[in-house]
Amino acid sequence: MTDGHASSLETGDATALPEDVDDVRDALVSWYEADHRDFPWRRTDDPYEILVSEVMSQQTQLGRVVEAWEDFLDEWPTAADLAAADRSDVVSFWSGHSLGYNNRAKYLHEAARQVIEEYDGEFPRSPDELSELMGVGPYTANAVASFAFNNGDAVVDTNVKRVLHRAFAEIHNADDPDYETVANTLMPTGESRIWNNAIMELGGVACGKKPRCDEASCPWREWCHAYQTGDFTAPDVPTQPSFEGSRRQFRGRIVRLLGEHDEMDLDTLGHRIRVDYTPDGEHGREWLRGLLSDLADDGLVQIEEGNDQTIARLQ
Q: Where exactly are the structural domains of the chain? A: 38-149, 247-314
Q: What is the pLDDT of residues 60-72, one digit of tens each?
A: 788 889 999 999 9
- Candidate from 31-35, 202-206, 214-218, 297-301 with smallest mean pLDDT: 297-301
Distance (Å, whole) CA 16 – CA 161: 14
Q: What is the pLDDT of residues 187-210, one digit of tens each?
A: 999 999 999 999 999 999 999 989
Instruction: Say what the pLDDT of residue 86 is.
Output: 93
Instruction: Indicate the average pLDDT of the chain.
Output: 87
CATH topology of domain 247-314: Arc Repressor Mutant, subunit A (1.10.10)
Instruction: Say what the pLDDT of residue 8 is.
Output: 39
Instruction: Say what the pLDDT of residue 241 is.
Output: 57
Complete DSSP assignment for 98-129: T---THHHHHHHHHHHHHHHHSTT----SHHH
**What number is the average pLDDT over the span 109-120?**
95
Contact 5, 187 (CB under 8 A): yes
Q: What is the pLDDT of residues 89-98, one digit of tens each?
A: 999 999 888 8
Task: Indicate if the pLDDT at residue 80 is higher than 90.
Answer: yes
The pLDDT confidence band at residue 275, using thresholds 50, 70 and 90, is confident
Distance (Å, whole) CA 136 – CA 130: 7
The pLDDT confidence band at residue 248, using thresholds 50, 70 and 90, is confident
Q: What angle do CA 197, 202, 203 make, to 5 degrees?
A: 100
Task: Indicate if the pLDDT at residue 239 is higher than 80.
Answer: no
**What number is the average pLDDT over the span 281-294?**
87
**What number is the average pLDDT over the span 300-311?**
83
Which range scores top for mean pLDDT: 40-54, 235-249, 266-280, 282-296?
40-54
Instruction: Say what the pLDDT of residue 3 is.
Output: 43
Q: Name the active-site residue from 10, 19, 33, 54.
A: 54
Task: Indicate if the pLDDT at residue 289 is higher than 90.
Answer: no
Instruction: Say what the pLDDT of residue 161 is.
Output: 93
Active site residue 54: yes
Which range scores top for mean pLDDT: 52-61, 140-149, 227-236, 242-251?
140-149
Class of domain 38-149 (CATH, top level): mainly alpha
Distance (Å, whole) CA 107 – CA 81: 15
